[in-house]
Amino acid sequence: MSAGRPRVAVVGAAAAGLAAAEGLRRLGWDGEISLVGDEPHPPYDRPPLSKQVLSGAWEPERVALRDPAQIAGLGLDLRLGTRARSYDPVRRMLVLGDDARTELRCAGVIAATGVTPRTLPGAEGVEGVHVLRTLDDALALRRRLAAPGRRLAVVGGGVLGAEAAAVARGLGHDVALVCAGGTVMERVLGAEAGRLLAGLHRDHGVALHTGRAVTGIRAVAGRAVGVVLADGTTVEADDVLLAIGSTPAVDWLRGPGAEAAGLDLSDGLGCDEFCAAAPGLYGAGDVARWYHPVLGRHLRLEHRMNAAEQGLAAARNLLAELDPGRFGERRAFTPVPYFWSDQYDVRIQGYGLLAGADRIEVPVREGDPLRLAALYGTGDRVTGALSIGLAPRQARSLRAVAAAPTPWPEATERLADALAPAAAG
């Protein structure tokens, strides 16, 4: 590789980072591309970690996003097992490695560093306490669950905690799911849908402790024996999974050039509608908080689909900034947000914005098997739609309902039209 070729560095080697690197090449960037990842593994997919990998249905190699030949074909300066120490967006200088001795001058940088799991005070170094973000995390917990008759306490009732609880029950272990909210996935689904999902977990034998805050880990001789609740009681366990949220991985951007460049790091990397945080610096994936002009607000989505779409959008817009004559104009990034979760034999899918809704209507609801369709929004506009247990074609039809803020009567009618053909068939 020639030292004179301009360089784009993509920091973060998961779905968003790989999509950005592939997008740069596909769109015609013939300069250097440095793909930097702090894990030693080639780019892999994270959603299967809490399901197929944790259950043992998949071996680790199956989560690879590309095979070695495909990675080699991109002609990357691949730097795995390497941490980004700092980036100065004014000087466009990226510093890598624990010894901070590697400096890369960049024409542009795409930040795709994701998030870091939160933990609890006193959990560090305690045997049997787990988080679930990386492949190594999933394999460590899988090894513990390989022994029969384990007791697992899952702290946190969001998507990750609920999925892991379902997998552990499927493996035959005793599972306690502890969440501070009133029910499972309440922040995203709301109370009614959350209660129905909680019922599904109870029906499968999960012991639910809702509305209960965890204050710490109870350990004996350095080994976890349970979690301590705010009232002083203990939920006993052989292993504890902390699924209590995450923090955007932006510390490497808090260098001397951050203030001069006007970086907003208050909740991830603040970006405009083009995913730009500063000249030559773009964000993608879980770490990026960008302005969505159709929805009229800033979003930061920890969703797999968004990571891939935003990685490509960031690549396209960075190239358009660097050479508009060659790569054209920048385009606003305006996806329909989408997430999915598989728990037991039920698929949950959300389109648009569900969290923060002050009005939720559930026109389709059945308990056994669990089947649900719901609309989410504000007083006058629908912003999101939820499918639980619907047929694939029915679920996909909800995307159009949530593609843009829609008056409630129109959205309700469109939902009925979307579901009617399948129901009639």
- Hey, what CATH class is 119-244 in? alpha beta
Residue 43 to residue 37: CA distance in whole angstroms: 8
**286, containing H or E segment:** none
From-to residues of CATH 3.50.50.60 in the chain: 7-116+247-327, 119-244
Q: Which residues partner with 152 through β-bridges?
A: 175, 239
Condensed to tens digits (0 to 9), the pLDDT of residues 41-82 reads: 999 999 999 999 999 999 999 999 999 999 999 999 999 999
Q: pLDDT digit of tens for each residue in the chain (425 aa)?
A: 345 789 999 999 999 999 999 999 999 999 999 999 999 999 999 999 999 999 999 999 999 999 999 999 999 999 999 999 999 999 999 999 988 789 999 999 999 999 999 999 889 999 999 999 999 999 999 999 999 999 999 999 999 999 999 999 999 999 999 999 999 999 999 999 999 999 999 999 999 999 999 999 999 999 999 999 999 999 999 999 999 999 999 999 998 899 999 999 999 999 999 999 999 999 999 999 999 999 999 999 999 999 999 999 999 999 999 999 999 999 999 999 999 999 999 999 999 999 989 999 998 887 778 899 999 998 899 999 999 999 888 888 899 889 889 999 999 998 888 787 544 43
* Predicted pLDDT at 417: 82
The DSSP secondary-structure symbol of 391 reads: -
Give me the helices (H) in 207-303, please. Answer: 257-261
For 353, residues 6+ apart whose C-beta sits below 8 A from its C-beta are: 295, 299, 337, 376, 383, 384, 402
- DSSP letters spanning 34-103: EEEESSSSPSB-SGGGGTHHHHTSS-GGGGBSS-HHHHHHTT-EEEET--EEEEETTTTEEEESTT--EE
In CATH terms, the superfamily for domain 345-424 is FAD/NAD-linked reductase, C-terminal dimerisation domain (3.30.390.30)
Q: Which residues partner with 348 through β-bridges?
A: 341, 388
From-to residues of CATH 3.30.390.30 in the chain: 345-424
In CATH terms, the superfamily for domain 7-116+247-327 is FAD/NAD(P)-binding domain (3.50.50.60)
Across 271-297, b (16+ Cβ under 10 Å) vs e yields: bbbbbbbbebbbbbbbbbbbbbeebee
The answer to whether 172 and 150 have CB atoms below 8 angstroms apart is: no
Number of neighbours of residue 232 by Cβ within 10 angstroms? 7
Count of helix runs (H) and strand runs (E) in the chain: 11, 28
CA Rg value for the chain: 22
Residue 163 to residue 158: CA distance in whole angstroms: 9
